[in-house]
Structure 1
Amino acid sequence: MKQVELDKLDQRILAVLQQDGRISNQQLAEQIGLSPAACWRRVRTLEETGVITGYSAQLAPERIGQGLCVLVNLSLQRHTIDSTAEIEQQVSSYPEVLQCFAVTGNADFVLRVIVPDMASYDRFLNEKIFTLQGIAQVNSNFSLREIKNTQTIPVGSVE
């Protein structure tokens, strides 16, 4: 996918929206130093070009009974396009999997899984992960505490 060129105003818009996606266009325009119409056009262009992919609420997992975070390393028996695609499709369909990365190193995939407790994670492994065809090894790393968790992407040298 082609990289989009961002000027300083676009970078400032993105920085503000990453901190407060619910800010009004009027407030955003005032912070950036643009007219509301010009600000709206820029935000719309950032959305249409795929720079902004959506807006969402950030939740505290432990406050809604989803307090166990597990980083799961999956290693495959074989590396074929079909088997890898099937695993990617299956894993992507599991609501417990918040993130899935194809990686290099000691594993082929790293999953970030959120579940209520250890019994739920045991069920997730037995009913979902262990039923996948082609998995050679599963290693689980349990999060003791969260140090940093952000979706904010640095966008140039924003003042």
Structure 2
Amino acid sequence: MIQVELYKETSCPIRAEAIKKVVRTVLKILNKKNHLSLSVAVVKNSTSRTLNRIWRGIDRPTSVLSFSVRPSSESSQKGKKELFILPPREKNFVGEIIIADSVVKKEAQQNNYSYPEEFNYLFVHGFLHLLGYQHDNYSSRKNMEKQEKRILQKLKIKRCL
């Protein structure tokens, strides 16, 4: 079972059921188990900017941020140990994706995509991060882009990568 908790600071048109459909598609393509939960927050620029400044040291809003409950390969390599203690009923929680509504609108308009197309692209990108994909070097970036392309084609989203 897939559980999506959707929090909206704005009146974006995205619904939790639509996100679940994308999650199912991603998991099927990647041959992953179909039993997880995640949180998605669609936020204002001010919230995105604050989170981006706190977590990445970049003082501007960003389109998407992912907060995984599992250690990333990057933090493991640096000897850091990320630890999240989840209640037993939440053991399948993979993390949270933060998407900035106005950045989605702006990028969709600039690139001639619909709002849902741009939102779904950003969601897929963030969700792949929750599943452990990274783009911190050439090889990992190419692999992540390959998966994004496969998923977007399956979802019939015409977006250039």
TM-score calculated relative to the size of structure 2: 0.22
Greater length-normalized contact order (CA 8 Å, ≥ 6 residues apart): 1
Structure whose residues are more often helix by fraction: 2
- Indicate the structure (1 or 2) with the bigger Cα radius of gyration: 1
